[in-house]
Amino acid sequence: MRTALPKVRVPYLLLFPGFAFLFTFFILPIVNLAQTSTQTPISGGDTGQYEQTFAFGNYIDAFLENREQFARSFVYATLATIFALAIAYPLAYAIAFKSGKFKNILLVLVVAPFFTSFLLRTIAWKQILGEEGFLVPTLRNLHLLGPQTTITSTSVAVVAGMTYNFLPFMTLPLYASLERIDPRTIEASGDLYANGITTFRRVTVPLSMPGVVAGTLLTFIPAAGDYVNAAILGSPNTKMIGNVIESRYFKIVDYPTAAALSFTLMAAILILVTLYIRKAGTEELV
Amino acid sequence: MSTKVKDASIPTIPFKARLSRWFGRNLLRIYMVFGFTYLFIPVAYTFAFSFNDSGKSNLIWKGFTLDNWQNPCGAPQICTALGNSIKIGLLATTFATILGTMIAFAIGRYHFKGRSSSNLLIFLPMATPEIVLGASLLSLFLVFKVNPGFWPTVIAHVMFCISFVVVTVKARIASLDPRLEQAAMDLYANEFETFRRVTLPLVAPGIAGAALLAFSLSFDDFIITNFNSGTMMTFPKFVYVAAARGIPAQANVIGSSMFFLALAIVIAGQIVNRRKAR
């Protein structure tokens, strides 16, 4: 006799393999990272050897030593998110409402640059905006740029690079929520004598809020932890917290500080994200 | 004489007003052209410089050549790196798509205790900066004396791809019309048959999209890979390391080929979908 699987168990059986994997390779490492963050060097040991001493002072030291890079990461990431939103919103709006039968092709084109390695594209920007590109000498000849002023190796270049690289992450969720708007709500607003701007402000924007929230999060989070743009387009004066963590790990082999910094970054982002979602008031994010 | 009469019969709009009206109507279209130009400038640059007769460092235009396209493996290590990236991408995509799709069905189809904490567990890896994911996983591997390399990288990629697969497939499941499955049941299909002949084909485009997304995320990943790959080269790592002394034009050839290949796959998928829809 075959006993049917009790129905209650089905979702748990489906979840089990994936969650076991995430538990082992996501949760456990984070717990381990927390452990590493309070270790101190073994006295007389080699570099890279640490023991657990619950030195919570690591956090304070790490933060105080790198508060400038922390601040810079959050300022750069916020700026890049704002610029990406400003560029992506009209773009997503145009694709959703004004592109007719070309909609799918245009959507593919938004994602298409993704497939050329993002490092190659960032380096391409570096060369286009660099000393040997054609833009800087042209601007200098037109006296729009001083003879000593450069574009690369500045904070402007780093923010611009991040804006560019995370633009598709902003555009896609915006498009998804704009596309879902029922055109009848916009017609109704017009019937009620709202002009184009009022309709946009009072109907379209509020209805696209889930996309704005998802897009800004998908841009801000990777931007705050990024170090590639700062490494390629920036200078030692534009170092972000990601650059510090990376060099602590690989160059200085200072695992506890790197772990403390990683944990602080993660906590700061989670707190900001939680506050932001509360404020924006969207529950169904994922 | 007659032309003058004709002119007078049509109310003439001053050129300036016509121009501003045209701009008003087409502002978004003009904006779109600028937006896409911005998106594609570095892609076009990468493609153009794949034809550069550059020697070792591909910084300044030195003349047109097809050598790089004829000999894409010409730069040392570049094809080993590419091969590793493709292998890792395929393995990570397979595992992440299977695990993620199962989770998506559980969350999308069932109401069970712990559903909202499940959602949270899926959201968390996406809300964690890549550098933290990469660094924490490396620490774990070091504790268990696992040397970074090929398989640790595959594991890392599966881990960060799962959430994106879940989100993509879940969106597709949510958009399904439940009446289609009810109809199948009404026609005496059992649960398994309904799933295999109705639900799965309907969700399939979502799963395919998720797999494509997972592959592109894995193939392009640098930060997490850099932490967990040890001395093994991947294509993004190759580019990053080479950037210090100048990237060989072969990297541009490979980057451009990936771009055209992906474009071809996506467009082919669209055509297949459209045929099916008819």
Helix H, strand E, coil C: the string for chain B is CHHHHHHHHCCCCCHHHHHHHHHHHHHHHHHHHHHHHHHHHHHHHHHHHHHECCCCCCCCCCCECCHHHHCCCCCCCHHHHHHHHHHHHHHHHHHHHHHHHHHHHHHHHCCCCCHHHHHHHHHHHHHCCHHHHHHHHHHHHHHCCCCCCHHHHHHHHHHHHHHHHHHHHHHHHHCCCHHHHHHHHHCCCCHHHHHHHHHHHHHHHHHHHHHHHHHHHHHHCCHHHHHHCCCCCCHHHHHHHHHCCCCCHHHHHHHHHHHHHHHHHHHHHHHHHHHHHC
Query: What is the Cα–Cα distance from A19 to A277, expressed in whole angstroms?
Result: 25
Q: Report domain extents, chain B.
A: 76-247
Pick among A23, A27, A119, A175 to test the B interface (most B CBs inside 10 A): A119
Of B125, B262, B220, B154, the closest CA to residue A165 belongs to B220
Q: Which of A78-92, A177-191, B94-108 has the lowest mean pLDDT?
A: A177-191
For CA atoms B141, B146, B148, B151, the dihedral sign is negative
pLDDT tens digits for B38-81?
Answer: 889 999 988 988 898 876 667 777 778 888 888 888 778 889 99
Q: Which amino acid is at B203?
A: V
Query: What is the Cα–Cα distance from A242 to A226, expressed in whole angstroms?
Result: 6
Does the beta-carbon distance from B127 to A221 stay under 8 Å? yes
Query: What is the Cα–Cα distance from B227 to B136, expressed in whole angstroms?
Result: 9
CA atoms within 13 A on the CB side of B207: 18
Q: Average per-residue pLDDT in chain A?
A: 85
**Could you report how far apart the first and last alpha carbons of chain A are, in Å?**
42
Q: Which of A49-53, A68-72, A270-274, B9-13 has the lowest mean pLDDT?
A: B9-13
Would the pLDDT of B264 be above 60?
yes
Domains along chain A?
A: 58-280 (1.10.3720.10)
Query: What is the Cα–Cα distance from A248 to A259, expressed in whole angstroms?
Result: 9
Between the alpha carbon of residue A144 and those of residues A136, A155, A158, the distances in Å are 9, 19, 21
Is 3.40.50.12780 the CATH classification of the domain at B76-247?
Answer: no
| A10 — pLDDT class (breaks 50, 70, 90) | confident
Q: Which residues of A touch B227 (CB under 8 A)?
A: 249
Does the beta-carbon distance from A286 to B119 stay under 8 Å? yes
Q: Average per-residue pLDDT in chain B?
A: 86
For residue A133, what pLDDT is reported? 73
3-class SS string, chain A: CCCCCCCCHHHHHHHHHHHHHHHHHHHHHHHHHHHHCCEEECCCCCCCCEEECCCCHHHHHHHHHCHHHHHHHHHHHHHHHHHHHHHHHHHHHHHHHHCHHHHHHHHHHHHHHHHCCHHHHHHHHHHHHCCCCCHHHHHHHCCCCCCCCCCCCCHHHHHHHHHHHHHHHHHHHHHHHHHCCCHHHHHHHHHCCCCHHHHHHHHHHHHCHHHHHHHHHHHHHHHHHCCHHHHHHCCHHHCCHHHHHHHHHHCCCCHHHHHHHHHHHHHHHHHHHHHHHHHHCCCCCC
Q: Which of A98-102, A154-158, B273-277 has the lowest mean pLDDT?
A: B273-277
Pick among A116, A164, A248 to test the B interface (most B CBs inside 10 A): A116
Does the beta-carbon distance from B39 to A110 stay under 8 Å? yes
pTM: 0.85
Q: Is B147 exposed, middle or buried (0-12, 13-18, 19+ CB in 10 A)?
A: exposed
pLDDT tens digits for A29-85?
Answer: 999 988 888 888 887 777 767 888 888 888 888 898 898 999 999 999 999 999 999
pLDDT tens digits for A216-241?
Answer: 998 999 999 999 999 889 888 889 99
Would the pLDDT of B229 be above 90?
yes
Does the beta-carbon distance from B159 to A26 stay under 8 Å? yes
- Asked if residues A215 and A173 have their Cβ atoms less than 8 Å apart, the reply is yes
Q: Tell me the mean pLDDT in the region B236-257.
A: 87
For residue A1, what pLDDT is reported? 42
Q: Looking at the partner chain, which of A14, A87, A127 has a beta carbon nearest the beta carbon of B35?
A: A87
For residue A6, what pLDDT is reported? 57
Would the pLDDT of A186 be above 90?
no
Would the pLDDT of A22 be above 50?
yes
Chain B residue with CA closest to A233: the answer is B243
Please name the residue that has the structure tokens 């799965």.
Answer: B200
Chain B residue with CA closest to A261: the answer is B132
For CA atoms B67, B68, B73, B74, the dihedral sign is positive
Q: Which amino acid is at B4?
A: K
pLDDT tens digits for B106-161?
Answer: 998 888 888 888 988 998 898 888 989 998 998 899 889 999 999 999 999 999 99
For residue A281, what pLDDT is reported? 63
Calculate how close chain B gets to A237, using CA atoms only, in Å. Answer: 18
For residue A2, what pLDDT is reported? 47
Residues 118-147 of B with CB under 8 A from A: 118-119, 121-133, 135-140, 143
Q: Which residues of B touch A33 (CB under 8 A)?
A: 132, 135-136, 139
Cβ of residue A204 closer than 8 Å to a chain B Cβ: no
Give me the count of residues in chain B: 278
For residue B104, what pLDDT is reported? 94
Q: Tell me the mean pLDDT in the region B235-255.
A: 87
In this predicted model, which residue has the larger pLDDT, A33 or A6? A33
Of B103, B106, B217, the closest CA to residue B156 belongs to B217
Percent residues over pLDDT 70 in chain A = 94
Would the pLDDT of B3 be above 60?
no
For residue B2, what pLDDT is reported? 47
